[in-house]
Structures are given as structure tokens and as C-alpha cells.
Amino acid sequence: MEILSMLSLLIRGLSVISRDRELGARGESLGRVLDMAALAIERGEDGAAELKALVEKVKEMAEASRDPTVEEWASLKARSDEAHRILSEVPDANP
Amino acid sequence: MLNKLRTVFFATAFLVLTACASLNPMSAAKTNEQRAYALYGTFVVFEEQAAKLVQSPSVSPSLKQSLRDADARAKPAADGLMAVIDDLIKVQAEVKAGTSSSDRLRIVLSRLDTWYFDTKPKVESLVLAVKGAK
């Protein structure tokens, strides 16, 4: 994942350079494309890091021969409820 | 130049998704409860990703609606799984205190299995919707 962080940083850097005034509108649109690419990488990386953390947690439970605690379940449930609240507020695309 | 950029972009997106696909929390679990936690945790990770995507102005309204609908299908099953977990924790405490039989524990564990297999395809649909939106 470190490679992806570096790639994202590189794309962000290229985006700044491409927005140089001498490149004009073309540079501006290239900058926007680069920003979108960096954003997509960062989002994917974010999800992968969270999944990796979950895998590590389940591995730790398996190695310690223990099941999830009440607090661990409650923490997941609270996160789910908050995400669900945000998603529920999305309106219909064609009302 | 733009074609080269597109190639780099799609190659990177593929790399990120491949990295995601190789991370399967369920495969690390050894007990039914660990497996349920791994599934519910996967659901939460992708539900949070979906919530971030619907807040982004660069995502189209129809895609946002698809994400909302995929979550609406998965959430009741995931909540059902949580309800069985609540029962399981209660019965485990009762068995420990000697006020409940191990037969009751077996029944709740069997319900957990049923809910796990009911929830899994719905979580997978949400995972696919989120990956498709990225």
C-alpha cells in the first residue's frame, strides 16, 4: 500500500505542475483528471487499509482463541448505523 | 498524453481492487462468532466506503442511488445477524451461570449459521456496488 501512497502523492504533484499558467486551459483540465485519479487511488487505498486492519483483528482473535467482545460488536454496530444514516439520506436519482 | 494517463489510471485502479480482493477477513476466522464478526466487519467497511462515495460531488446521482439501495438490501440482514449475536452473548452468560442449557446455546449457534449464510450474498452485493462505483 505504500507504493500506492507514493503514486497518489506523485499524481497530486503532477496535478500541481500541470496547472502552471503557461499550459493554460489544457493544463487546468489535465490537473482535474490527475486530481480525480489521485482521489480514486486514495479511496481504494483507504478501503484496503480498513480491510487489512479487520483481517489482522480476526487473525489476532483466532490466535488468542477468543471471540469478539461486546464492546467490539457495539463499535461495529455504531459505525454501521452512522454510515446507514448517511446513505438513507440519498434522494432518488429521478424523483 | 491523455491515453497514457488513462492506462496508468486503470492499471492503478486494477491494482487497488486486486489488493482489496486478496484481503478476505472471513478466511482468517476459526469460530462461528469470529466468522460472523469478519462478515459484519466487511459489511461495515464497505458501507462506510459507500457513505463516503455518496457525499462526493463527482459521483453521479444514479450511482449514489444504487449504493443507497445496495445498503438498504444488506442492512436488515446485517442487523438480523447482530440480533442473533445479542442472543448468543445473553445465552452464553446464562449457560455460564447455570441458568440455561447447552441445548439452547446450540439452537442460537444454528441460528447464527443461518443468518450468516443469509447475510453473506447481500454483503457481497454491496461490496460489488462499491467497487463498481470506484
Alpha-carbon distance A95 to B13, whole Å?
32
CB of B69 closer than 8 Å to CB of B118: no
Please indicate if any CB of chain A lies within 8 Å of the CB of B82.
Answer: yes
A67 contact residues in B (CB cutoff 8 A): 31, 33-34, 37
B46 contacts A84? CB cut-off 8 A:
no
pLDDT number for residue B22: 59
Alpha-carbon distance B92 to B52, whole Å?
37
B26 contact residues in A (CB cutoff 8 A): 58
Closest-CA residue of A relative to B15 is: A4
- For the cut 60, the answer to whether the pLDDT of residue B75 exceeds it is yes
ipTM above 0.90, yes or no: no
pLDDT tier at B43, thresholds 50, 70, 90: very high
Is the Cα dihedral B107, B113, B114, B115 positive or negative?
Answer: positive
- For the cut 70, the answer to whether the pLDDT of residue A5 exceeds it is no
Alpha-carbon distance B24 to B26, whole Å?
6
Other C-beta atoms lying within 10 Å of the C-beta of residue B103: 8
pLDDT tier at A61, thresholds 50, 70, 90: very high
Calculate mean pLDDT across residues B113-132.
90
A57 contact residues in B (CB cutoff 8 A): 41
pLDDT number for residue B133: 75
A 46-65 residues inside an 8 A Cβ radius of B = 46-48, 50-52, 54-55, 57-59, 61-62, 65
pLDDT number for residue B94: 93
pLDDT number for residue A49: 87
pLDDT tier at B122, thresholds 50, 70, 90: very high
pTM of the entire predicted model? 0.72
Alpha-carbon distance B134 to A46, whole Å?
12
Please count the CA atoms within 13 angstroms of the CA of B70 that sit on its side-chain side.
29
Query: Which segment, A10-19, A36-45, B35-44, is predicted with the most confidence on average?
Result: B35-44
